[in-house]
């Protein structure tokens, strides 16, 4: 065996870990770079009671319109019953993140009824996949009513106008009742005048 061969045979065991590290390094870099991309919204494990407690508003409504702009989806909701919070108008707008990985809920369907659990940010109402918002099934609505009762309309109906009914012939009836008393008063006054006149003559 030549001197070169002996040198290479002695060097090869020392080079193997270095070569292995160089081969594995790109994979490590790729895994570090790719890690944020696989991040997802944590699963929702809260109970209905916890959702109801955390929400600023709870109401049922039907989605009339859906629009998307950038990273925001906006739903126009015709409200039905309000169980928690103040919803003073109908329809209302509810927004959510368009990205499911950011816990957005962009897949609600136009024309479908939902129970909305919303947070209030100023005048804006928002919801997400961890809020509890879901299709308004009989079962879910029944559970919500167990917590809050029957709810109330989003817009209270205006009170019915008060009507005053005039009874026909009422003035004639009053005159008939008052006439005898007026006659007695007149007779009394005439009597007093007659007594005073006679007194002056005497």
Series of mean pLDDT values for 10-residue runs along the chain (202 residues): 51 52 49 54 94 96 96 96 88 95 95 96 92 97 96 73 58 60 69 67 61
Cα atoms found within 13 Å of the Cα of residue 85, Cβ hemisphere only? 20
CA 167, chain centre distance (Å): 49
How is residue 49 written in tokens? Answer: 């009671």
Tell me the C-alpha distance between 33 and 37, whole Å: 8
Global pTM reads 0.61
* Model pLDDT, residue 32: 43
CATH of domain 48-148: 2.40.50.120
pLDDT at 2: 54
Output Rg (C-alpha) for the chain, integer angstroms.
43
Listed residue (96, 94, 133, 135) closest to 117, CA to CA: 133
């Amino acid at each position: 065996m030549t001197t070169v061969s002996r040198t290479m045979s002695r060097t090869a065991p020392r080079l193997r870990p270095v070569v292995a590290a160089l081969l594995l390094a790109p994979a490590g870099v790729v895994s570090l770079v790719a890690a944020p991309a696989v991040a997802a919204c944590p699963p929702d494990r809260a109970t209905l009671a916890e959702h109801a407690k955390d929400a600023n508003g709870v109401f049922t409504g039907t989605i009339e319109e859906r629009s998307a702009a950038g990273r925001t989806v906006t739903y126009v909701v015709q409200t039905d019953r309000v169980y928690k919070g103040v919803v003073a108008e109908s329809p209302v707008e509810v927004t959510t993140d368009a990205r499911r990985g950011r816990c957005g809920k962009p897949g609600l369907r136009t024309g479908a009824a939902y129970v909305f659990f919303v947070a209030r940010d100023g005048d804006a109402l928002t919801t997400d996949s961890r809020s509890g918002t879901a299709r308004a099934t009989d079962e879910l609505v029944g559970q919500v009513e167990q917590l809050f009762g029957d709810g109330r309309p989003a817009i209270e109906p205006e009170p019915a106008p008060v009507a005053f009914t005039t009874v026909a012939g009422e003035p004639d009836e009053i005159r008939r009742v008052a006439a005898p008393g007026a006659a007695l008063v007149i007779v009394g006054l005439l009597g007093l005048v007659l007594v005073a006149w006679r007194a002056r003559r005497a």
